Structure 1
Amino acid sequence: MRSRTLLAPVVALAGAALLAGCAMGGGQPAGEVVLDPDAKLEGEITVWSWDVAATALDRLGDEFEAAHPGTTVNVVDVGYDNAYDKLSVGLQAGSGLPDVVTIETDRAPGYINEFPAGLVDLDPVLGDDEADFDPFKWQAQSDADGALKVAPWDSGTVGLFYRTDYFEEAGIDPASIATWDDLVAAGEVIKAKTGHTLLSLDVATGGGFQMLLQQQGQGLFDENGDITVNSPEAVEALTLLQTLNEKGLLKNVKGWDGRVTSAKDGDSAVTPEAVWWIGTLLGDAPELSGTYGVTELPAFEEGGVRTSNSGGSGLSVPAQAKNPQLAAAFVAFALADADNQVSMMQNEGLFPSYLPALQADYFAEPQEYFGGQPVYELFAEQTANIPAITFTTDNAEASDIVANAVVAAVLNGADPQQTLDDAAQQIATATDREIAE
């Protein structure tokens, strides 16, 4: 019998999936936990995740328990909005984190470097499978010595989700949208003819700024670790967001739940988001089946890159885990198995980082929710075009500063260049890094 719990309502994964676990505080010695791939599996573990990610792990927990009698997998949906607060407290206290936690790819380097002994090295159970995973994610989630601290889970390839009924009512062909300028112009027509805004964003958390920046081949830092948040590309991205708001095409919503609610309510015509948004729509807005299509992200200029990355996540085992052997075995079961990865795509819309899974016929099948469009083919094709960017240990701190800059420019009308210059200086002061020339 199982004694598993799935707490809190399903609300949103943000392919990202949440919360890093590393639990080092309290002065635990590095290397205390060494995994044995042949260890006997018994007892129970607790897993933290959220939304469709928690749903997927809960479902796979049933299968894992059936395959390993005498084990119990308890999945807790801790929610996205407070996930990092819980993580920070657990890391500093050296206690309070579970056996398995989810961590977003862009957050991983910061936690791995700040708490080098806080996460268990997963190489003993996954190292032989390295070539089968997205190499970018494997590298981003490993430490300086190459030890895998966060196992790759889902990818965050970005496309443009659009309401087919709104575009039809406005007389706009989605295929005619090649650039962001095209989309802004279309948004004005859509609002005039349907009354709907173009898109809904949470401006307070950055409003998609970093997604737009990566689309142009830049992150918050360059390959030398220098600050690039005030580059011409960054100014163009922030100016776009400001323009959308000034034209009344942007609905500002609060938090992840606000974005999901806005989609369910049909506030806006498009959602530039990662492939994992499919899982959110399927789980939270099944009633909207048949009203959505997907196309490439608009480029900043004709012939430019038409995708980006948003989110993506992995699973990790904190050093404070009570049952690390069972935890690591469950991570491998969920993420290094093609059938299980395909099942998470079919049931929860989680796009695999495990490459063998992408060979399954499912990824070329028409999807009823999207009017028969084989949407996963589009994401699979665009994944190879995602520009690579550099993450540093200061990404989290820089992201908070940049989010404030986005608010200043988009909601308060501040000059984008000056706002980003100020943000770059704040990041330089806080991190002792140089501003790129």
Structure 2
Amino acid sequence: MKGAGLAGIAGLAGCVGTGDPGSGDGSDGGDGSDGGDGSDGSDGSDDSGNTAMASEINVWGWDVAARALQITAEEYEAENDATVAVEEFGRSAMKDRLQTNLLSGSGAPAVSMLESVDGPSFIATDSVAPLTDEIEEASVQEDFVSGKWEALTVDGDIYALPWDTGPTAVYYRRSVYDEHDIDPSSIETWADLIEEGQKLPDDQYMLNLPEGDLSGVWRYQFRQLSGEPFLDSGEVNIHNEKSLKVAQNIKEIYDADIAANIEGWTSAWFSAYGDATIASLPSAAWMEGTLRAELPDTAGDWGVYKIPALESGGPRASNWGGSNLMIANQVSEEKKQRGWDYMEWSLATEEMQLAMYDEYGLFPALETVYDEPVFDEELDFYDGQAARALFAEVAQNAPGYRFTADTPEVSQAMETELQRMINGEQSPEEAVQAAAETVGENTDRDLA
């Protein structure tokens, strides 16, 4: 359902031309066309001696997020004497190319997407420009959900501006729940969900618990409990009571035989949700855009409820995913100025954030928009449920999370040990302890 007054803006999607992300010809950087010397597309300094803004910048993004940026780029160009060239990549391809170009010192765009989980590792390369002064001057930090900033802040400096966030919820197929007398309002804990899942026939599953993404499940549930993988002093902290509760919960779901094991984002995965072989999908607000695009025939048969608590009365808010925009250190000051101006326009402006959400389902991290009437609309996709209001509530209550350059080590260790756990090779206690020891050994950190 279109937000009030946004149809015209959203209809601009796709109007900004994209370059060829696979050409590798340096047109986005090292030769000066969008690189660090400002020799092309740069206005130099104005009469007062202040750095002027470049007349052209490149912006990198992936998939629907890049298409969302095309909306704001078109609007920005209409209001400013500048060109914003958005290039669309696949997710992995963009990450790999961006990291290579950042480390080499040339070829990076002025502005690019940065997932929160990647923030600390990219910042650690000294190739990302700090934006603390710009954010303070614009007075926008308080306008965004507080949980976004921790992953973007290192030693007191902020290195990116929040874009979307991933407030969690359980998507469910209404027809399946209705047929088997499953009441989503009665599901308050994971134990409740497991019990309700027993009502389904043998060829139908309550949810999916795929090999290869157990660490992702662990992380959003660990974050739900305000867990942190490392203490402020640096010690490994993934073998504590909170982590153990999550591991036990994953094992209980698996042992109850209510979960399928289908690799995520494959054709089989989409088919299982399309034909309702799997009835529920714990995910985040951004999943709506994927479901609308990939499974259009299921529109109107979805609902959402908060992810269950791990114990009665426990928290039911977490975050899964979310992106930001960053500026490369290697580009000229003129391009940095233009890049920031475009970023502030796109991400700190309510109209632009709502346009991107309306068209592509990218849930805004800009919490000042949550009071807009669009968040109370009853949505056809959810059979009349005002799902945006639920996501807004979760977003404002989701705890922060301390990503670091060692986060990949945590993910890999938890994935390995949780898999061994559900294979019956070890207990939940042994799994979290083994994961902590592995991370400690690989990162030269002590255990808490």
Q: TM-score, normalised by structure 1?
A: 0.84
Secondary structure of 2:170's counterpart equals strand
What does residue 109 of structure 2 align with?
A: 98
Q: Alpha-carbon deviations, 1:11-55, whole Å to 9, x = none? A: xxxxxxxxxxxx9xxxx99xxxxx999755554333222232122
What one-letter code is carried by the residue in structure 2 that aligns with 1:57? L
**Is contact 1:342-1:357 (8 Å) kept?**
yes
User: Whole-Å Cα distance in 2 between the matches of residues 86 and 255 of structure 1?
Assistant: 24
What one-letter code is carried by the residue in structure 2 that aligns with 1:173? D
TM-superposed deviation, 1:295: 0.8
Distance 1:345 1:402, change over 3 A: same
What does residue 181 of structure 1 align with?
A: 191
Secondary structure of 1:219's counterpart equals coil
User: Whole-Å Cα distance in 2 between the matches of residues 188 and 237 of structure 1?
Assistant: 21
1:313 partnered with 2:323: yes
The answer for unaligned runs of 5 or more in structure 1 is 9-22, 30-34
Secondary structure of 1:435's counterpart equals coil
TM-superposed deviation, 1:65: 2.1
1:252 partnered with 2:261: yes
What does residue 291 of structure 1 align with?
A: 301
Distance 1:390 1:369, change over 3 A: same
* Match runs of 1:330-369 below 5 Å: 330-369=342-381
What does residue 65 of structure 2 align with?
A: 53
User: Whole-Å Cα distance in 1 between the matches of residues 200 and 364 of structure 2?
Assistant: 34
TM-superposed deviation, 1:101: 1.6
User: Whole-Å Cα distance in 2 between the matches of residues 161 and 7 of structure 1?
Assistant: 35
What does residue 128 of structure 2 align with?
A: 119
TM-superposed deviation, 1:262: 4.4
What one-letter code is carried by the residue in structure 2 that aligns with 1:203? E
TM-superposed deviation, 1:3: 6.5
TM-superposed deviation, 1:307: 1.7
TM-superposed deviation, 1:354: 1.5
What one-letter code is carried by the residue in structure 2 that aligns with 1:385? N
Match of 1:328 among 330, 336, 340: 340
Aligned length: 408
What one-letter code is carried by the residue in structure 2 that aligns with 1:307? A
User: Whole-Å Cα distance in 2 between the matches of residues 242 and 139 of structure 1?
Assistant: 30
User: Whole-Å Cα distance in 1 between the matches of residues 166 and 16 of structure 2?
Assistant: 33
1:377 partnered with 2:389: yes
User: Whole-Å Cα distance in 2 between the matches of residues 207 and 140 of structure 1?
Assistant: 17
The answer for unaligned runs of 5 or more in structure 2 is 1-14, 22-29, 37-43
What one-letter code is carried by the residue in structure 1 that aligns with 2:288? I
37-46 or 99-108, which moves further after superposition? 37-46
Secondary structure of 1:197's counterpart equals coil
**Is contact 1:222-1:389 (8 Å) kept?**
no
User: Whole-Å Cα distance in 2 between the matches of residues 235 and 255 of structure 1?
Assistant: 25
Match of 1:282 among 252, 269, 292: 292
**Is contact 1:42-1:71 (8 Å) kept?**
no
**Is contact 1:53-1:348 (8 Å) kept?**
yes
**Is contact 1:163-1:270 (8 Å) kept?**
yes
Match of 2:241 among 232, 237, 248: 232
Distance 1:321 1:260, change over 3 A: farther
What one-letter code is carried by the residue in structure 2 that aligns with 1:156? G
Distance 1:149 1:368, change over 3 A: same
The percentage of counterpart residues that share the same residue type is 29
Secondary structure of 2:198's counterpart equals helix
Mark the structure with the bigger radius of gyration: 2
1:404 partnered with 2:412: no
* Match runs of 1:75-224 below 5 Å: 75-76=87-88, 78-112=89-123, 114-116=124-126, 118-127=127-136, 128=138, 129-146=140-157, 148-192=158-202, 195-205=203-213, 206-224=215-233
What does residue 6 of structure 2 align with?
A: none
What does residue 32 of structure 1 align with?
A: none
**Is contact 2:301-2:383 (8 Å) kept?**
yes
**Is contact 1:196-1:267 (8 Å) kept?**
yes
Distance 1:239 1:6, change over 3 A: farther
Secondary structure of 2:154's counterpart equals coil
406-415 or 292-301, which moves further after superposition? 406-415
Q: TM-score, normalised by structure 2?
A: 0.82
Distance 1:73 1:124, change over 3 A: farther
What one-letter code is carried by the residue in structure 1 that aligns with 2:353? Q
Distance 1:354 1:67, change over 3 A: same
What one-letter code is carried by the residue in structure 2 that aligns with 1:56? A
User: Whole-Å Cα distance in 1 between the matches of residues 97 and 271 of structure 2?
Assistant: 24
What does residue 15 of structure 1 align with?
A: none
What one-letter code is carried by the residue in structure 2 that aligns with 1:48? W
TM-superposed deviation, 1:426: 0.9
What one-letter code is carried by the residue in structure 2 that aligns with 1:332? E
1:4 partnered with 2:17: yes
TM-superposed deviation, 1:270: 1.0
Q: Alpha-carbon deviations, 1:173-194, whole Å to 9, x = none? A: 11111110111111121244xx
Secondary structure of 1:390's counterpart equals coil
Q: Alpha-carbon deviations, 1:211-258, whole Å to 9, x = none? A: 111112213223433222222322221232233333332223335456
Secondary structure of 1:233's counterpart equals helix
